[in-house]
A and B are shown apart, each in its own frame.
Chain A
């Protein structure tokens, strides 16, 4: 992984600023041609959120066009991703991207992942705040004596089980998902998938295509299995444990954290699948495989988020 900074090629140019020696890095900068994909992307994103907002805002029983618009928008977004990535892949295969462009892409992906980390940070922050402060305060600890005294004097703060739902027990009594069953298995699955994707990466560097396909395929399967178990766990939570999105703040943090993570695993699995097909088509070589690495970084990020979830949501 290259970190931001100067390329060695730059020094060559400093000595000979207008000398366009072929084959060196930075002979000239690369600026892509104009493209209609960005404006298409902006339009389909707008259609999607407009549909979603309209759908949410329509009261129960009210007829609305929200769902239809939302569907059109989502299909548009999927189509836009296909089109935009196809043109980028074609440009990449045509050899248009030099080392400098590659570095820009890498930086873009790294900072995108950083922004994702901060997004999860907001939800983890909410979890920690609720567990460390607001629930104990409702139970009369430290700062919350008066709230407890006047509003919910019989409430005893405890996390998970029945207490964690909050003083009004919104959503009714519930039980929590035990950490050492499916969640442990899912942890193993994701950790293994991180290993397999790394093996695939090494195989890519060594140029062993069969091995890449095998281990990348395994990674996709592990991701899909994870998602299957996660869905199973959700159904069990809803049907047998009465743990729902409405189960007080416990249910809110549990489902929003694991749900957003599951969404990221879904995206990551789709991305890995795309990369698998690109390997099959021979898009990558040992020096030129940013697409593969970007998805691998993303997969490791999703893995690390899961480890935090396993620790803070399931075990503790």
Chain B
């Protein structure tokens, strides 16, 4: 192959195409596609967030206030589906798209056109799913887990199943692309064990995605045939079993939990060393801990089902396997703290969100450990305790990491510094109100308030009101982020340097800010001292 041939392929060699449609709908550029993913995720975050506001408004006082119970159930179902598949996952894919090629010295993703397809499937999938809210008979209201037989009563099941198929196709293609990029496109000298932890975390996450999204596709396909084609997978009268669905679903669902948190671990492992001005403590241990968590995620799924009546042996196995996960997770938390130990720390907004992540995610981890105990879980199951738990790991975990990453890399993306003052206002409002929102839910759960109900006993009134107030203010605080973002992109006068942060290391900081439309068209020279985590093999 001649160099001329390569050159011909780059008709947009020095910049973005001028036409809007060509640039955004026909893109093969990882930065533009990454931006599309991030904008989509932010939009979905506010749509899902508005559903959450509806839920908290209804729960502000006991009794039915604002809506019919069926609509409430639609809100809880859609809130989860939108936040998981529309906000958190696309945000991580967007960050991966933007940063992985920059971090490993690749010019783009390995399969750029498939990358564009992965993204463009998503808006259509969500149009299909959200349109069910306006159909006669309403949208899905059986919870995001879609357990049969309840979910089979929904009139809009086919729409949701096909939307999930589309999202699955998108995720699998995105994951294949990320694996091929990391394994095949690294610059010479960027050995596997020199890669940034964020890249490692995405490599393992991508493997999880390819392994479990097809299982979800299979499970929802069985729902589809049970409802529309008369099969009996989940009907005991025909020899099936509704619990079978739960097994297949959670075989997907538990690794899915780690799909939503491993890239967050990667992000925190990039940010903490930068602002502590020290290489990460125990790089290899961090990598192996991620791999270990990923492996364990395949053998713990039934801890979501302790209360369905599993045989005792299964309950014991899944209980111990689940508790094992706290070992590699503990390694990670320990290493983040040890990285900060003795560092010369500064507390810019990304670092604040990272520290909040470490503390609050750990709280969510501990409440998870409580529920791993089978006898205790019988008490907590399907109460607000689990709601508090997974919001601590998903909001103050995954979401805080995404926000931290957005602040951390925003100057590289836009070429401008964001307003540190308003970033901190956003942080303090978020971190205070998120605890007002979710911490009381632990008490509600322990006192026995079930999840997914529009009305409750007056005994739960006070904590629910506190939680709702926290919810409204947390939701409002996120508007500050929109302000910071718009200011940074369009109005900020303060130009970012190439390095942006004093302690930042890694290939992504060697390119100009904003990162040019094409980077690393020729493989860069990798020097160990420039890498994020030093020369780890010493």
The minimal Cβ–Cβ distance linking B187 to chain A, given in whole angstroms, is: 8
**A4/B120 in contact, CB under 8 A:** no
Q: In the complex where A96-B1, A100-B184, A166-B240 touch, is A18 in contact with B522 (Cβ < 8 A)?
A: yes
CA distance A164 to B240 in the complex (A): 10
Task: Please tell me which stretch of A112-120, A188-196, A299-307 contacts chain B, meaning at least 4 of its Cβ atoms lie within 8 angstroms of it.
Answer: A112-120
**B28/A118 in contact, CB under 8 A:** no
**A49/B162 in contact, CB under 8 A:** yes
Query: A residues engaging B (CB < 8 A)?
Result: 4-6, 10-11, 13-14, 17-18, 20, 22-23, 26-39, 41-43, 45-46, 49-50, 52-53, 56-57, 94-98, 100, 103-105, 107-108, 111-112, 114-116, 118-119, 121-123, 125-126, 129-130, 133-135, 137-138, 142-143, 147, 151, 164-168, 170-171, 245-246, 248-253, 255-256
CA distance A268 to B225 in the complex (A): 24
Task: Pick 26 A–B contacts, CB within 8 A, sort by A.
Answer: A4-B183, A13-B523, A17-B523, A27-B3, A28-B522, A31-B9, A32-B113, A34-B28, A46-B124, A50-B162, A53-B128, A56-B228, A96-B6, A107-B110, A108-B110, A111-B176, A116-B214, A118-B215, A119-B214, A122-B214, A123-B222, A125-B247, A166-B236, A248-B239, A250-B239, A251-B231
Q: Which of A39, A108, A143 contacts B120 (CB 8 A)?
A: A39
Q: Does B156 contact A (CB under 8 A)?
A: yes
**A107/B179 in contact, CB under 8 A:** yes
The minimal Cβ–Cβ distance linking B352 to chain A, given in whole angstroms, is: 37
The minimal Cβ–Cβ distance linking B479 to chain A, given in whole angstroms, is: 31
**A17/B522 in contact, CB under 8 A:** yes
Closest residue of chain A to B6, judged by CB? A28
Task: Please tell me which stretch of B10-18, B79-87, B377-385, B485-493 contacts chain A, meaning at least 4 of its Cβ atoms lie within 8 angstroms of it.
Answer: B10-18
Contacts of B235 in A (CB 8 A): 166, 170, 249
Chain B 234-251, CB within 8 Å of chain A: the 1/0 string? 011111110110011001
Which 8 residue pairs spanning A and B have beta carbons closest together? A122-B218, A166-B239, A4-B183, A134-B241, A168-B237, A249-B239, A252-B231, A119-B214
Chain B 146-180, CB within 8 Å of chain A: the 1/0 string? 00000000011011011101100100100111011
Q: Which of B163, B239, B251 contacts A134 (CB 8 A)?
A: B239
The minimal Cβ–Cβ distance linking B458 to chain A, given in whole angstroms, is: 36
Central interface residue in B1, B112, B251, by most chain A CB within 10 Å = B1
Q: In the complex where A32-B9, A34-B27, A245-B231 touch, is A52 in contact with B522 (Cβ < 8 A)?
A: no
Q: Does B532 contact A (CB under 8 A)?
A: no
Specify the main secondary structure of chain A where it touches its partner: helix
CA distance A121 to B251 in the complex (A): 11
Q: In the complex where A108-B176, A126-B222, A245-B225 touch, is A134 in contact with B28 (Cβ < 8 A)?
A: no
Contacts of A14 in B (CB 8 A): 188-189, 525
**B248/A126 in contact, CB under 8 A:** yes
CA distance A30 to B419 in the complex (A): 38
Contacts of A17 in B (CB 8 A): 188, 522-525
**A249/B232 in contact, CB under 8 A:** yes
The minimal Cβ–Cβ distance linking A206 to chain B, given in whole angstroms, is: 25
The minimal Cβ–Cβ distance linking A202 to chain B, given in whole angstroms, is: 27
**B241/A115 in contact, CB under 8 A:** no
**A53/B159 in contact, CB under 8 A:** yes
CA distance A100 to B110 in the complex (A): 9
Q: Does B20 contact A (CB under 8 A)?
A: no
Q: Does B515 contact A (CB under 8 A)?
A: no
The minimal Cβ–Cβ distance linking A208 to chain B, given in whole angstroms, is: 27
The minimal Cβ–Cβ distance linking B92 to chain A, given in whole angstroms, is: 18
Chain B 1-38, CB within 8 Å of chain A: the 1/0 string? 11101100111100001000010011111000000000
Q: Does B356 contact A (CB under 8 A)?
A: no
Closest residue of chain A to B523, judged by CB? A13
Specify the main secondary structure of chain B where it touches its partner: helix
The minimal Cβ–Cβ distance linking A150 to chain B, given in whole angstroms, is: 12
Q: Which of B188, B219, B225 contacts A256 (CB 8 A)?
A: B225
Q: Which of B5, B222, B523 contacts A96 (CB 8 A)?
A: B5
Q: Does B233 contact A (CB under 8 A)?
A: yes
Q: Which of A26, A125, A250, A251 contacts B251 (CB 8 A)?
A: A125
Q: Does B212 contact A (CB under 8 A)?
A: yes
**A166/B184 in contact, CB under 8 A:** no
Known: A29-B6, A38-B120, A45-B124. 15 other contacts (CB 8 A): A34-B22, A39-B117, A42-B124, A50-B162, A53-B161, A56-B228, A107-B179, A108-B177, A134-B243, A147-B236, A151-B236, A168-B237, A246-B231, A251-B231, A256-B221
Q: In the complex where A4-B184, A26-B523 touch, is A143 in contact with B311 (Cβ < 8 A)?
A: yes
CA distance A36 to B25 in the complex (A): 7
Central interface residue in B114, B169, B229, B523, by most chain A CB within 10 Å = B523
Central interface residue in A45, A96, A246, by most chain B CB within 10 Å = A45
Q: Does B287 contact A (CB under 8 A)?
A: no
**A95/B113 in contact, CB under 8 A:** no
Q: Does B363 contact A (CB under 8 A)?
A: no
Contacts of A116 in B (CB 8 A): 214
**B180/A108 in contact, CB under 8 A:** yes
Q: Which of A34, A165, A246 contacts B12 (CB 8 A)?
A: A34
Q: In the complex where A29-B108, A34-B27 touch, is A56 in contact with B239 (Cβ < 8 A)?
A: no
Q: Does B127 contact A (CB under 8 A)?
A: yes
Contacts of B232 in A (CB 8 A): 166, 170-171, 246, 248-249, 251-252
CA distance A55 to B117 in the complex (A): 26
Q: Does B470 contact A (CB under 8 A)?
A: no
**A42/B222 in contact, CB under 8 A:** no
**A168/B238 in contact, CB under 8 A:** yes
**A52/B28 in contact, CB under 8 A:** no
Q: Does B444 contact A (CB under 8 A)?
A: no
**A167/B237 in contact, CB under 8 A:** yes
Q: Which of B124, B155, B180 contacts A107 (CB 8 A)?
A: B180
Central interface residue in B2, B156, B238, B251, by most chain A CB within 10 Å = B238
Q: In the complex where A28-B3, A35-B26, A248-B232 touch, is A104 in contact with B238 (Cβ < 8 A)?
A: no
The minimal Cβ–Cβ distance linking A285 to chain B, given in whole angstroms, is: 15
Contacts of B311 in A (CB 8 A): 142-143
Contacts of B169 in A (CB 8 A): 45
